[in-house]
A and B are shown apart, each in its own frame.
Chain A
């Protein structure tokens, strides 16, 4: 789960990472009230989960109340690369002298947290890495030992930060690491990390990704889910406990098990089709869940044909067949279905489907044949 900048900063503040004071606002009135609290000059920052906010005009400095009102009115509701701004963060202006970069990432290859620091902040760090890999100091931390003070010193000296901020930057890296672990984050990134005119250091931006699997330990964080950008089908699927990812095509897909579903999308694409979604009905899906999944798939108006690709292990093919039969009784789909059932109770499942004589449901024996058939049917429908 990706957090908005201000949500990340609030987590930072909780763990002692220095951040500029600020308040969030959903309307111009709220923004003006926030300005009174924060003081002037202040910065109005659009809260959207996409980069390039500044260039798009989503970050503006206000010297006084009039200017704040103008900027807030302009930014709230604006569109930044497809994301509507519903919220702004009003923050005290910072007197910036230097812009650095810091991050803690979950390094899957090394199986350890990786802490990074660079004096070349304020720009795209991937570009910095490409242009000059030595510009970024990197250090893996043993998760059983945790971040020690020497880690901070080493990174600060290796990155070549100004001598007088070696200590505060080392301390800040430690608090970022604490945030990373304590909040079960998989990414904590600060770009830019700024040194102010008074030589204090602050996190001027915050990019935080939290591990969905750990939200049970953080009920407060679970409330932070930013649902305003969620696609309608994705919201529907999440509320029903289904794993669904929307894609651009017209072939609706349901399978069991993430790997098999991914493979199904690939095979459909290879035979010339265009998948409309990824939907994993999960292990051991019951008939009601299948019915519910069909509703989600068909709620996407682009879908012109649907493929069921099931290899039953703990999922029983008769349950899948019953779910499809129930779905037909409830929602009477008007698009063709192609069904491939293999594995546990496959014969029972195929017999149930044959007996039900559902209109426009075709069965195929193999995954490849099923993919070919559904692509043919989707093509002739559009």
Chain B
């Protein structure tokens, strides 16, 4: 098993005719993901190397039974595209786009949570990879193999770094989920950790957080109450000065809120082991996995 994406995923890509959209759609298909459609308004009837393009999500869903959307359009069109996908009945929307206005994200979030059975991952995220099954997004799949570590992260390249350290110690992954670095992510650490807890293939969960907001602290409380599987955490941004946005729109320490120290302490106080470097995360994971096997 795995979470969110697998062999049943039928992917429709919004913005498939753009340079990046085409490149990653074909990359995902090459990995084995069933890319059934694309949407670009005004380009309906065309195709991208055999993938049919539609004018609307509604048409795409009707014609191809797509159940998952990947959003690749520029920031000013992205919120609209997410809402369109949801309206057309798509149940999982993965938004890769970076730079969506915060108020757009707020409206999208509050609208989607009122609908039944629709989940947004991202925006500003690298997507979801279930090794050996499906890849939806831009995660370089070559570095990951099938296994039983579930990874959830606010950052793309940091995920690759940690995944690589885990791989060097012989770990594979059930799924790798990038929830994105924006202030209002569609899915939180808690949402994804709950999926990993329920997934029989996942034995160990690794979460990679960073400064800003309080999602890690909330996850710490949730883990203490609801999660039976071991969780290893990493937090980036111990050296970040307050008031400066560290690349991700959501990565900012405001006043005394959102610091890496506070997050690491909150997690440790709830019994979650926190690795101080990506290398240490993998070492702790190896130690825990060793004790699980005994």
Interface residues of A (CB under 8 A from B): 106, 108-109, 111-113, 126, 142-144, 181, 184, 186, 211-214, 216-217, 243, 245, 247, 255-263, 265-270, 275, 278, 280, 283, 311-315, 342-344, 366-368
Closest to B76 in A: A216
Q: How far is the CB of B153 from chain A (nearest CB, A)?
A: 7
Q: Are B157 and A106 in contact (CB under 8 A)?
A: no
7 smallest CB-CB distances across A and B, nearest first, come from A259-B155, A258-B247, A257-B157, A259-B158, A214-B101, A260-B157, A262-B236
Q: How far is the CA of A255 from the CA of B100 in the complex (A)?
A: 23
User: Residues of A contacting B184 with CB < 8 Å?
Assistant: 108, 111
Q: Are A144 and B237 in contact (CB under 8 A)?
A: no
Q: Are A280 and B110 in contact (CB under 8 A)?
A: no
Q: How far is the CB of B137 from chain A (nearest CB, A)?
A: 10
Q: How far is the CB of B202 from chain A (nearest CB, A)?
A: 22
B109 in the interface (beta carbon within 8 A): yes
Q: Are B99 and A213 in contact (CB under 8 A)?
A: yes
1/0 per position for B92-103, CB-CB distance to A under 8 A?
A: 000000011111
1/0 per position for B204-223, CB-CB distance to A under 8 A?
A: 00001011111100100000
1/0 per position for B60-82, CB-CB distance to A under 8 A?
A: 00000000000000011000000
B111 in the interface (beta carbon within 8 A): yes
Closest to A267 in B: B277
B251 in the interface (beta carbon within 8 A): yes
Q: How far is the CB of B235 from chain A (nearest CB, A)?
A: 9
Q: Are B110 and A259 in contact (CB under 8 A)?
A: no
User: Residues of B contacting A112 with CB < 8 Å?
Assistant: 106, 110
Closest to B214 in A: A109
Given contacts A108-B183, A247-B239, A263-B158, contact A213 B247 (CB under 8 A): no
User: Residues of B contacting A366 with CB < 8 Å?
Assistant: 279
A-B contact pairs, 13 of them (CB 8 A): A108-B184, A144-B107, A184-B101, A186-B183, A213-B102, A217-B76, A217-B101, A245-B246, A259-B181, A265-B240, A266-B236, A278-B246, A313-B160
User: Residues of B contacting A265 with CB < 8 Å?
Assistant: 237-240
User: Residues of B contacting A315 with CB < 8 Å?
Assistant: 157
Q: How far is the CA of A186 from the CA of B183 in the complex (A)?
A: 10
Given contacts A259-B158, A259-B248, A311-B157, contact A211 B138 (CB under 8 A): no
B172 in the interface (beta carbon within 8 A): no
Q: Are B213 and A311 in contact (CB under 8 A)?
A: no
Closest to A186 in B: B102
